[in-house]
Amino acid sequence: MLMGIFLFAHQLMAQDISVSGNVKDEKGEALIGVSIQVKGTTIGNITDIDGNFMISSVPANSELIFSYMGYETQTIAVKGNKVINVTLKEDSQALEEVVVVGFGTQKKVNLTGAVASVGAEVLENKPVANIGQALQGVVPNLNVSATNASPNATPSFNVRGGTSIGLDSDNKKYEVKNGSPLIIVDGIQVDAEYLNMMNPSDIENISVLKDASASAIYGARATYGVMLITTKSGKNDSKASVTYNLNLQWNTPSHTPDILDAYTIQLATNKIAEMTGGTVTPWMETLLAAKKKYMEDPKPENAWIYNEGSTTNMTWVANMNPYEVGVKNWTPLQRHNISISGGSAKTRYYISLGYQRQEGMYNINTDIQNRYNINANLNTNISKWLDVATKISYNTSNYNEPYMNYQKGNVWEAMKNDPVRNMNMPIKTGPNDPIPDAWTDNILGWLAYGATQSTQKTSTVFNITPTITICPELNVKAELSYRPTEYFQKRVIPVRNYVVDNWNSTINSHTYPSTVREETRHSDYYTINAYANFNKAFGSHNVSGTAGFNQEWYYYRQLHGEAEDILTNDLPTLGMTTGSQYTGDNAEHWAIRGAFLRANYDYAGRYLFEFSGRYDGTSRFGHDTRYQFFPSFSAGWRISEEKFMANTRNWLDNLKVRGSWGSLGNQDVANYAYIASYGAAGYISWVMNNEQIKGMNPTGIIASDLTWETASTLDFGIDVTTLNGRLDATFDWYTRRTTDILMSGTKLPAVLGATVPKRNSGELKTNGWELSLKWKDQLSNGIRYDVGLVLSDYQSKVVKFTGNENNLLSSLYDGMKMGEIWGYETIGILQESDFTIDENGKYVLIGPSQTKINSTIYPGDVRYADLDGDGEITKGDETVENPGDRKIIGNSTPRFQYGITGNISWKNFDLNIFFQGIGKRDIWISDNVFWGGSGNAGNWEMYNNSWTPEHTDAKYPMYAGRISGTTQSGYLFNAAYLRLKTLALGYTLPKTWVSKAKLSNVRLSLSGYNLFEITQIPNLYDPDQISSAYPMMRSVAFGLQVGF
């Protein structure tokens, strides 16, 4: 009935005319892409590259609405005019900003939940290799952690800190988890790895939904926030525009360990012997002299010496710094991106091609990643009531690396950990050695000898979205998508013959027999979203709503084969082998299904209410606990709209307070946790009839009532815009309580004979807040600038943890704060005067005994405080109740994370500065490479500042690695840092020059990434990566953007 009236009204319009015109800004520059709409209809168009527009069949008595992001919307009566030229004023209030939310958009001023939005400008023209790197420090409480900077590494995301409790990567200990938000690209769930493969240039907008009310519509996958990513699409009635982007970038490790040389390592070893009650043997003296000799005359003949009395066994005494030999100073990265977009009245398109080539940092068999991205979006208006959007996105990457035998560990770490091999051995034996020109056991030789691994990943998205507009107030939409992924990995390990410690023969440990291994993985991900949007005003009452249905299902299969004894290294395939062959496979699948609803009501834009909820089901729980309803409520009050605030309008643009509460379930548990299964039949260590046999084990005990972990979030926020839009501030405080966390159940008598099944029993609480401030202004001399600050903080606390009845410190316990560090209180470094010497010449410590910490103790060690006063330094029972002489000495949770951004533009120049950092954090460094001692390469910082009998007022205890495992207050590091994350200078060539070359736009940029840090963390480490794998990078880049 209602619909009928609208249709009827449409029919009443008067005779139509054709209207054209031009839209400019206040400076007279043409505005491209301004939307013009005939009021009350869907008729409209967009300005072209010169700011011109044309709309046919405009009712002569109608009104045109000119709207453009960042500018004030104007409504102009047609009154029969066929030409209408408009100058749009910049919208200093930015109150019309629209934010992408789940299954729709909302005006920012009307938001009642906690949502942050990031535009394309944050991602474009930055010298970053992936989206994660670009987002770090940009959105308050969107925590991005990159484990390393390997081309193949995927940064992980987290919203608002501790989310749940789960097992660590070894499946042994429970730890507090910072879970990932749900990541949605154009309506399709993806993972962080997919995001990593995307072309950052294709992204139009990223919305981060932080609280339960904003994310509730996504239900059980959005428990810990949502990242909504919208990719670019073309604009109607616009000329085809082609943009080419070139980015040339050079990377260098942010920190390279300042390791000692071979002679100093030996010298330190000899000194350690002296300082710890041992003696320097003649052999140690011999080694010292030999290493000195080599360093003075580094020829292959000096690289080794025979062991005492042996004519075959020898010891290597060479010196080489593997970081200097093996790591490139600058590693290039290049990125090309070309995009074509445009549209006619009914159709718009966006096509982009991206290519990125990134090299790794080792200069021996350098690892290389090639990434290709193809994106095509096509939106067609088929009829007045039917729109169809289609999208195909193809992302593929190819990573070739030298395969590092897993027994040798990761290269970066190995180079500082095993000097006997990695510093004292040359990569190859000398030409005159008894076994000449052979590999040694040096780690760089393992990189060089020829084991390879190549990995190809492909992810494709096919998406069709029909939208049916039933009437202007109501449309129905379906998003149908299919996302297959392919993965192929091939590994070839040829035999490696190498010399270790004698000239009798080479050995081939870890590489014999040679192997070739191939693995494929395939997955299919299907998504169906179908929903309706309704939006109508009844006087001052505005009502809108979204209701829909979602269903997703997933299949995965993996297959691998491995074969031994490669016939020829030229063509290593599974077939070209003569040895044993092994195969394996696995597969899994799951499904989710849910119905969702969001209803919004506001009165005159002043009182805002929202309800959203989702009835969700997952295949991961049993029939009876499979479905659950998760509701959320939120409300906002725009105080600035009240009559009594009328006299503040000249300076206060917007003041809104809001609050939300919601409860969301989390289905992120093992696929079949509620099903008792036997596992696969596997080989057991048993032989029957001369063959190894297979066996199976009983199922574990399963609690069939496993159900949803639930997170309830309460959020209060305030949004302020003042001084004519120049100052914009948002503050949110939240508390999130996660209950029914799946974890080990309460202990049962041992006669059960099995692991107590997991139960929904744990509880975690996270409190935090986030602030963002932005100031922007334009000076009279034409300089435009803006400054922004984001600052956030959270702390998580374990409220309830079952499975640690004795409150052991080695596990989580009730009341534990995430990140807390237990340790001893350091009093100081022990001197000769702190000891007496017994009849056997041994040092005896005066004062509380420390033999429970170190069985032997010497001057240069550390004295600890006897906190419990029992005359002895102990670990007690290692429980919270009796921690011995330990206490909480710090916390490793990063606190007060911040980002400071500044943009200045003047004439054709623009400058972007971005600082990022952590305000407070404690770190205990357990890495012995820092603390020194034998068996690792050590570092000069510690070595030069450590206690020796001659240097008794040193900063650090003796250089012997004796406290690396004894966490203590005196050597806890302040891990706070301030980092210049981005510095980018751009220059846009004047239009007059550019147009001569028939180009529309040319921009040049120079930028740097991770340029420097201010921190107290020792120079061995990047403050984001205290223990290292592939190190973090500093980058400089040159960019060129050309528009055709």
Partner 1 sequence: MKFNFKKYILALGIASVLLPSCNDDFMERYPLDEITDESFWKSETDLKMMLNSLYPLYIIGHQSGWSNSKNYPIGYTGSPLMYGDIYSDNCVKTGNEFSSLAGELIVPTGSGESTGWYWWNLRKVNFFLTHYDKAELSQDKKNAYAGEAYFFKAWEYYKKVLYFGDVPWITRDLNVDSEELYAPRTPRAEVMDSVLMCINKAVNWLPEKADQETDRLNKDQANFLKARICLFEGTFRKYHTELGLQETANKWLEEAVKASEALLGKYSLYKNGDETYWKMFAVTDLSDNPEVILARNYLENKVGHAAQRYYNQNNSSYQSMGATRSLIDEYLCLDGRPIYTGGSEGNYEKNSNFLGYGKWTELENRDPRLTQTICRPGEHVTIYKGGIVDKDLNGITYPGLSYTGSGPTVTGYRVIKHWMGDVVEEDRLYNGIQAAIEFRYAELLLNYAEAKYELNGTLSQSDIDLTINALRERAGFDFSKYPTAKLTVGQEPADPRLDKIYAEKLDYTVNPLLREIRRERRIELAIENHRYEDLMRWKAGKLLTVPLRGMNFNAVKDLYDGTHTDKPEIAVKVELNKTVFVDDEGFLICYPKSPYQNTIKGTLPWDDYRYYWPIPKEELIMNPNLVQNKGWENK
Applying the rule CB under 8 A, the residues between 466 and 495 that interact with partner 1 are 466, 468, 470, 476-478
Stretch in the footprint of partner 1 (CB under 8 A) among 22-30, 238-246, 693-701, 973-981 = 693-701
Is 685 near partner 1 (CB under 8 A)? Answer: yes
Interface pick for partner 1 out of 15, 171, 650, 690 (rule CB under 8 A): 690
* Beta-bridge mates of residue 906: 909
The distance of closest approach from Cβ of residue 477 to partner 1 in the complex, given in angstroms and rounded to an integer, is 8
Asked if 95 interacts with partner 1 (CB under 8 A), we say no
Residue labelled with tokens 């410590």: 845
For position 618 contacting partner 1 by CB under 8 A, the verdict is yes
Torsion from C-alpha of 1008, 1012, 1017, 1020, nearest 10 degrees = 70
Task: Pick the closer one to partner 1 by CB: 551 or 988.
Answer: 551
Taking alpha carbons only, the member of 538, 558, 534, 560 closest to residue 547 is 534
Asked if 107 touches partner 1 (CB under 8 A), the answer is no
Q: Which is nearer to partner 1, 590 or 637 (CB)?
A: 590
Residue 281's nearest CA partner among 268, 289, 291, 270 is: 270
Nearest by Cα to 748 from 707, 805, 789: 805
φ and ψ at 276, to 5 degrees?
-115, 35
CB 225 within 8 A of CB 317: no
Name which of 645 and 681 has its Cβ closer to partner 1: 681
Among 436, 698, 828, 871, binds partner 1 (CB under 8 A): 698
Locate tokens 């129905």: which residue? 476
Residue 434 CB burial class (10 angstroms; 0-12, 13-18, ≥19): middle
Compare residues 675 and 783 and give the one whose CB is closer to partner 1: 675
**For the purposes of burial, counting CB atoms within 10 Å of the CB of 93, is it exposed (0-12), middle (13-18) or buried (19 or more)?**
middle
Q: How far apart are CA 133 and CA 144, in angstroms?
A: 8
Residues 623-642 that bind partner 1 (CB under 8 A): 623, 626
Binds partner 1 (CB under 8 A): choice among 689, 780, 855, 992: 689
Nearer to partner 1, 529 or 1010 (CB): 529
Nearest residue (CB) to partner 1, 685 versus 992: 685
Q: What is the contact mask toward partner 1 in residues 980 to 1019, using x (rule: CB under 8 A)?
A: ----------------------------------------
Using CB under 8 A as the binding rule, whether residue 406 contacts partner 1 is answered as no
In this complex, which beta carbon is closest to partner 1, that of residue 83 or of residue 688? 688
Using the contact rule CB under 8 A, the part of the chain among 72-80, 335-343, 692-700, 732-740 near partner 1 is 692-700
The SS3 call for residue 701 is coil
Compute φ and ψ for 220, nearest 5 degrees: -70, -5
User: Which is nearer to partner 1, 344 or 746 (by Cβ)?
Assistant: 746
Does 855 participate in binding partner 1 (rule CB under 8 A)? Answer: no
Instruction: For residue 188, list its beta bridge partners.
Output: 185
Rounded to an integer, what distance in angstroms lies between the CA atom of residue 195 and that of residue 182? Answer: 12
By beta-carbon proximity to partner 1, the closer residue of 335 and 626 is 626
Q: Is 251 helix (H, G, I), strand (E, B) or coil?
A: strand
CB 2 to partner 1: min, Å: 15
Interface pattern 804-843 for partner 1 (x via CB under 8 A): --x-------------------------------------
Touching partner 1, residues 514-553 (CB under 8 A): 528, 530-532, 547-549, 551, 553
Task: Scan residues 733-792 and list those touching partner 1 (CB under 8 A).
Answer: 745, 747-754, 756-757
With b for 16 or more beta-carbon neighbours within 10 A and e for fewer, the 163-187 pattern comes to bbbbeeeeeeebbbbbbbbbbbbbb
Q: Which is nearer to partner 1, 498 or 824 (CB)?
A: 498
**413 and 257 in contact (C-beta within 8 Å)?**
no
Assess contact for 33 and 14: CB atoms under 8 A: no
Which letter does DSSP use for residue 8 in this model?
A: H
**Cis before residue 513, ω within 30 degrees of 0?**
yes
The stretch among 51-59, 226-234, 483-491, 667-675 that binds partner 1 (CB under 8 A) is: 667-675
Kindly state the number of chain residues that form the binding site for partner 1, as judged by CB under 8 A.
77
- CB-based contact 809:880 (threshold 8 Å): yes
Write out the two tokens for 979: 């980092």
Query: Residue 1008 in contact with residue 982, Cβ under 8 Å?
Result: yes
Q: Which stretch binds partner 1 (CB under 8 A): 37-45, 342-350, 620-628, 1011-1019?
A: 620-628
CB of 473 to partner 1, least distance (A): 14
Report if residue 614 touches partner 1, rule: CB under 8 A.
Answer: no
Nearest Cα neighbor of 440 from 565, 314, 324 is: 314
DSSP 357-379: EEE-SBSSS--EEEEEEEEEEEE
Alpha-carbon gap, residue 262 to 321, rounded angstroms? 9
Q: Which stretch binds partner 1 (CB under 8 A): 149-157, 300-308, 673-681, 932-940?
A: 673-681
> Where in 498-517 is the site for partner 1 (CB under 8 A)?
504
Position 913 contacts partner 1 (CB under 8 A):
no
Identify which of residues 856 and 908 has a Cβ nearer to partner 1 in the complex.
856
Q: For residue 671, state whether it binds partner 1 (rule: CB under 8 A).
A: yes
- Quote the CA–CA distance of 408 and 422 in Å, as a whole number: 11
**Judged by CB under 8 A, which of 571, 681, 837, 844 binds partner 1?**
681
Beta bridge partners of 558: 521, 586
Could you say which of 170, 297, 691, 881 contacts partner 1 (CB under 8 A)?
A: 691
End-to-end Cα distance, the chain: 51
Give yes or no for a contact between 19 and 84, defined as CB atoms under 8 angstroms apart: yes
* Position 619 contacts partner 1 (CB under 8 A): yes
Rounded to a whole number of angstroms, the minimum distance from the CB of residue 745 to partner 1 is 7
**Closer to partner 1 by Cβ: residue 589 or 955:** 589
d(CA 338, CA 16): 40
Residues of span 570-599 touching partner 1 by CB under 8 A: 585-591, 593, 595
Q: How far is the CB of 78 from partner 1 (least distance, A)?
A: 24
- Show contacts with partner 1 in window 447-466 (CB under 8 A): 466
Q: In a 3-state reduction of DSSP, which class is residue 672?
A: coil
Q: How far is CA 371 from the centre of its chain?
A: 18
Query: Least separation, in Å, of the C-beta of 965 and partner 1?
Result: 23
> DSSP code of 155?
-
Give least dist CB 343 to partner 1, A. Answer: 24
Residue of 330, 686, 906, 1012 that binds partner 1 (CB under 8 A): 686
Residues of span 143-162 touching partner 1 by CB under 8 A: none
Residue number with CB closer to partner 1 (476 or 657): 476
Residues 385-404 that bind partner 1 (CB under 8 A): 385-386
Considering the rule CB under 8 A, would residue 888 count as an interface residue with partner 1? no
CB of 83 to partner 1, least distance (A): 32
Contacts of 534 (CB under 8 A, 6+ apart): 473, 474, 543, 544, 545, 546
Closer residue to partner 1 (CB): 348 or 626: 626
- Provide CB contacts within 8 A for 397, sequence distance 6+: 197, 369, 370, 371, 372, 456, 457, 458
Amino acid at 490: K
Residue 918 · residue 397 · CB < 8 Å: no
Query: CB 404 → partner 1: shortest distance, Å?
Result: 22
Which of positions 11-30 make contact with partner 1 (CB under 8 A)? 11
Q: Which is nearer to partner 1, 694 or 842 (CB)?
A: 694
